[in-house]
Amino acid sequence: MSAVQEAVTAAPAIEAVPKRAMTLGVGTSLIVLALLIVTPLFVKNFIIFQMTMLLVYGLAVLALNILTGGSGQFSLGQSAFYAVGAYTSAILMEHAGMNYALTLPVSGLVCFAFGFLFGLPALRLSGVYLALATFALATAMPQLLKLGYFETWTGGVQGLVVTKPDPPEAVQSLLAWAHLKMSQDMWLYYFTLIITIAIYIFSVNLLKSRSGRAFMAIRDNEIAASAMGIDVALYKTLAFGVSAAITGIAGGLGAIAVQFVAPDGYTITLAISLFLGMVVGGVGWLPGSIVGSAFIIFVPNIAEGISKGLSGAVFGVILFLVIFLVPHGARQVAMVAQHLLGNLKKR
Amino acid sequence: MLARRKHLIAAVATGAIAFASTGGALAQKKYDSGASDTEIKIGNIMPYSGPASAYGVIGKTEAAYFNKINAEGGINGRKINFITYDDGYSPPKAVEQARKLVESDEVLVVFNPLGTPSNSAIEKYMNSKKVPQLFVATGATKWNEPKEFPWTMGWQPSYQSEARIYAKYLLKEKPDAKIAAFYQNDDFGKDYLKGLKDGLGAKAASMIIAEEGYETSEPSIDNHIVKLKASGADVFISITTPKFAAQAIKKLAEMNWTPLHIVSNVSASVGGVIKPAGFENAQGILSAAYAKDGADAQWNNDPGMKKFYEFLAKYDADANKLDGSVVYGYGAAQTMVKVLEMCGDNLTHENVMKQAASLKNFTPDTLLPGVTINTSATDFAPIKQLQMMRFKGEKWELFGDIITDDFTN
């Protein structure tokens, strides 16, 4: 057959990964967004604080999703990038008097560089060995932060107290005109929400773009990807860099929300929690990040409510049940729900 | 005459009303969130999980103690509702739990939260919310700053306090001592070292002839000990946590170096430090204590300890009375109950802090005889006294008088 005939009769090009598989439908997205925007208006400051932490950890899990779900590289070391982001923001805010919003891009860039540089030696490793290398990074981080050498900046073991920002003048005067007042917690929540939405859109577009396809090709079959001409080394380190940058921004937001940074807050337990969150949310499924985040924040509280002494064991049992019943995490639940809705619509 | 009687009645009536309304503190009831006619809510944050979970037993003991108080009628007729949360020794989690206690559970006071990092994390928040952060369970010295943090108060003797007491002892018993200081290179160790130097005053520079800091990440501290021996010191002060205290005791014995060995109170545990290091290596070591030791038979007939053992038998049967944390929890809880009793019907955050800062010669059952709790508006360090003890045979023997740390910053 001639080339022209082949081109005409060949199947039309399809998306490498159907958009549905990566995001929620338009309707569901809007509902979730509406809930996220409206809920803080009706709840206490403490709940708003918890929702802010939900978004912060959601970002960290999202970053891990890009790295593991997108480019197939295991990482048990996200807590290290989170810590670097948190400390960068805290140090810039407290020692350099920088505005809190400006510290976030700086944290992102610093962590991007850090992640990219870590990705270089990590190129030689894969699977279990990469996981161990990242594990080593996470274990080393708290002790590096305690080093006397950095103490004047990091505050050593005692950590740094971070001042909570007030809502900006413009917003305050606008609300005052409508006889409303916004608490610090509420402002911080909306600030975090805006950043989260921006990063989420960026991540979805990243995974749909050429780079995203390169990531997924590397994840699925590295040798084939390399044979197709993808610069494996570049994309792997890029994945680490991007993931670290997003985790760093999450860390910075976390530092501002909690108002305190200390080495003991960024241990290997955090790294493992983020990994758990990713699995529960559905590996590689970006919307699942928030479900994973909710799991790691609220389920330990539920476990504590059931039994104080055995809270760890109860958490383990709940986790086991989740993995056993829905191994693909929230993504599986969403697909089942979609399927059921589809059946209902047909009737 | 009738007019005069009328005036008299009016005067007496006015006087009576005036008296009744000024007798206000007793007659009127004032409540902040967390207090009512029937209940007082006490919040608490403990590491029930994570690296410091051994201290979780303190929270359990306190819960049992408050159960006992409730069974005996409560405080001024009000039952205690003890709400305790786990922070896993993680500062962000501690912040979350503190916010939960203050904003969601609306407690009257957050009592005995444990851990220097956790308390550092919540200090600013508690002070901005003006809710008492009372009797914090850490020995760091920074909890005695009533001007900057009027809502935060410590309980146990601070690390600097303890070090100053050792300095006092040395100045008295061995004024020409040559001191080698071996310290953990973090805030705990540095807190102690500062206390030691402050206590020695002008003689600090001449008496401390060698200082060696170690990191908790080091697998072995032998090389530091060798250096300190080479300095020719005759007093060895071990500012160490249990694992490293035991290593130091062993190494000193191996090297046949027998200086006067002082170890910090946090590592004075017989079961956790002395036994693993070897009883024969630990003879003559000095330390200090402020509470009675459940393992020491000399307190078996002490009225205070008898009450403690009775409490354990009835309300906390599976607690280990040899565990210093159980004794600690009892003493702290007893102090809290005393403060609430002193508040009477005025159960506001402010009055709780006021009464906590007005404790005079209060003696919980479990403190050593002679050690009393004293606070004032400028003194937020309840316990400032310790008694020295020497290790002999297989236990600690108290000696000398109670030494008071009366250093003022």
Q: How far apart are CA A111 and CA B250, in angstroms?
A: 44
Q: Say if the Cβ atoms of B121 and A262 lie within 8 Å.
A: yes
Residue B376 pairs with which residues in a beta bridge?
A: B379
Which pLDDT tens digit goes with each residue over A242-291?
A: 999 999 999 999 999 998 898 888 888 899 999 999 999 988 888 889 99
Which pLDDT tens digit goes with each residue over A185-238?
A: 889 999 999 999 999 999 999 998 999 999 999 999 989 999 999 999 999 999
Task: Give the residue, A197 or A308, on which the prediction is more confident.
Answer: A197
The percentage of chain A sitting over the pLDDT mark of 90, rounded to a whole number, equals: 43
Catalogue the E-assigned strands of chain A: 160-161, 260-261
Q: Say if the Cβ atoms of A259 and B95 lie within 8 Å.
A: yes
Q: Say if the Cβ atoms of B121 and A45 lie within 8 Å.
A: no
The answer as to whether A64 is a domain residue is yes
Which pLDDT tens digit goes with each residue over A70-81?
A: 888 889 999 999
Q: How far apart are CA A108 and CA A244, in angstroms?
A: 8
Q: Which residues of A265-283 are buried (b: 16+ CB within 10 A; e: fewer)?
A: bbbbbbbbbbbbbbbbbbb
The percentage of chain B sitting over the pLDDT mark of 90, rounded to a whole number, equals: 52
Q: How confident is the model at residue B331 (pLDDT cuts 50, 70, 90)?
A: very high
Structure letter (DSSP) for residue A308: S
CATH class of the B159-289+389-404 domain in this structure: alpha beta
Q: Is the pLDDT of residue A18 over 70?
A: no
> Does B159-289+389-404 match B39-157+300-378 at the fold level?
yes
Q: Do the beta carbons of residue B253 and residue B274 sit within 8 Å?
A: no
Which pLDDT tens digit goes with each residue over B226-283?
A: 999 999 999 999 998 888 888 999 999 999 999 999 999 888 877 778 888 899 999 9
Asked whether the ipTM of the predicted complex exceeds the cut of 0.90, the reply is no
Whole-number pLDDT of residue B23: 43
Q: Which of A57-66, B163-172, B205-214 is modeled with the greatest confidence?
A: A57-66
Beta-strand relationship, B385-392 and B395-404: antiparallel
Q: Is the pLDDT of residue B71 over 90?
A: yes
Q: How confident is the model at residue B10 (pLDDT cuts 50, 70, 90)?
A: low
Q: Please give the helix or strand (H or E) that residue B18 lies within, else none.
A: helix B2-22
A75, A166, B10, B104, B293 from A188: Cα distances, Å: 29, 8, 61, 19, 49
B34, B46, B47, B95, B330 from B84: Cα distances, Å: 14, 7, 10, 14, 16
Domain boundaries, chain B: 2-27, 39-157+300-378, 159-289+389-404
Whole-number pLDDT of residue B11: 55
Mean pLDDT of chain B: 87
Q: How far apart are CA B118 and CA B104, in angstroms?
A: 19
A–B CB contacts, 8 A cutoff, strictly below: 80
Give the count of domains, chain A: 1
Whole-number pLDDT of residue B21: 47
Query: Would you say domain B39-157+300-378 falls under CATH 3.40.1160.10?
Result: no
**Residue in the structure block whose two tokens are 């802010």:** A52
CATH number of the domain enclosing A88: 1.10.3470
Whole-number pLDDT of residue A98: 87
Which pLDDT tens digit goes with each residue over A83-100?
A: 999 999 999 998 888 889
Mean pLDDT for B313-332 is 85
Q: Is the pLDDT of residue B12 over 70?
A: no
A280, B33, B36, B39 from B345: Cα distances, Å: 50, 14, 9, 12
Measure CA B115 to chain center: 11
Residue B180 pairs with which residues in a beta bridge?
A: B210, B236
Q: Do the beta carbons of residue B322 and residue B271 sit within 8 Å?
A: yes
Which residue in B46, B96, B106, B127 has the most chain A C-beta atoms within 10 A of its own C-beta, making it the best mutation to test that interface?
B96
Which residue in B60, B120, B190 has the most chain A C-beta atoms within 10 A of its own C-beta, making it the best mutation to test that interface?
B120
Does the CA dihedral A84-A87-A89-A91 come out positive or negative?
negative
Q: How far apart are CA A11 and CA A9, in angstroms?
A: 6
The answer as to whether A15 is a domain residue is no
The answer as to whether A2 is a domain residue is no
The set of residues, in sequence order, having a beta carbon less than 8 Å from that of A237 and lying 6+ positions away, is A116, A119, A120, A122, A123
Q: Of A148, A269, A311, which is closest to B185 when you measure between CB atoms?
A: A148
Does the CA dihedral A19-A21-A24-A27 come out positive or negative?
positive
Residue numbers of the domain that contains A247: 22-36+47-150+168-346
Answer left, alpha or beta for residue A214, where phi above 0 means left and psi between -120 and 50 means alpha: alpha
Whole-number pLDDT of residue A224: 92
Mean pLDDT for B296-310 is 87
Q: Say if the Cβ atoms of B120 and A46 lie within 8 Å.
A: no
Q: Please give the helix or strand (H or E) that residue A243 lies within, else none.
A: helix A232-258
Q: Is the pLDDT of residue B113 over 50?
A: yes
Whole-number pLDDT of residue B237: 95
